[in-house]
Amino acid sequence: NGKVLGRRVPTGDERLFQKKRKPGKRDYFVTIGLDVSGSTVQNDKISLIKAAAYAKAELLSRLGIKFAVYAHTGDLSSTMTPANNVHGYALAVEIYEIKAPNEPWNTKTRDRLSKLRPASANLDGHTLEFYRKVTQQQKATDKIILYYTDGAMPLENYHEELEILQREIKLCKRDAIAIVGVGIGTDSPSRHGLDTIRMDHLEDIPKVVAELEK
């Protein structure tokens, strides 16, 4: 920076350079998180979730936008300590990787998506924590999490999951990660202040595209 050379060079001041930023191309990263808890078997919600995810993945792939696809469920099993007959719960978050961030969207990843089946419980706080960490690691100017759910957020392990969920929403806001809730037959994400799209039918898929575009 010519304006400061005269007074900073003699004193050994290293602040000699000026960097100008020109408006550049914005780049995006999208994490798609799919609910595959046991309740998605009702009314074949799992098929709607997979169809919506497929449409988003195809769109992002064709636009050259980086993205990842995961499915989430969990296990909250009742346990008993033999020594004192104390009941408790064993908590296990289960994340299925459909498409990793640097993996191409191809026949293999499409096949993983098509084979998804309803599993067990929903542990929303821990799940969002995983999605936030994956998204946070990506290099992009704009980062988005599409969070699919078909019921209450949270449901199982309520008090702990609620605490973690609220913390993760705050962390995403701090780090400028946008969270869009996609409620399958529900608007439950909106109760946490999230932008939410409700999907009841295949015809609602364009609404998710519109929200993603916004």
Contact 122, 162 (CB under 8 A): no
This model's pTM is above 0.85: no
Tokens of 102: 């640097």
- As averages over each run of 10 residues, the pLDDT of the chain (214 residues) reads 65 63 77 95 94 94 95 75 55 94 97 94 94 96 96 89 96 96 95 94 88 80
If 0-12 CB within 10 Å is exposed, 13-18 middle and 19+ buried, where does residue 30 land? buried
**Nearest by Cα to 112 from 171, 69, 56, 155:** 69
- pLDDT for 5 equals 63
Calpha distance 157→12 (Å, rounded): 59
| Strands of the sheet with 195-199, listed across from one edge | 86-99, 66-81, 28-35, 142-149, 177-184, 195-199
pLDDT at 47: 95
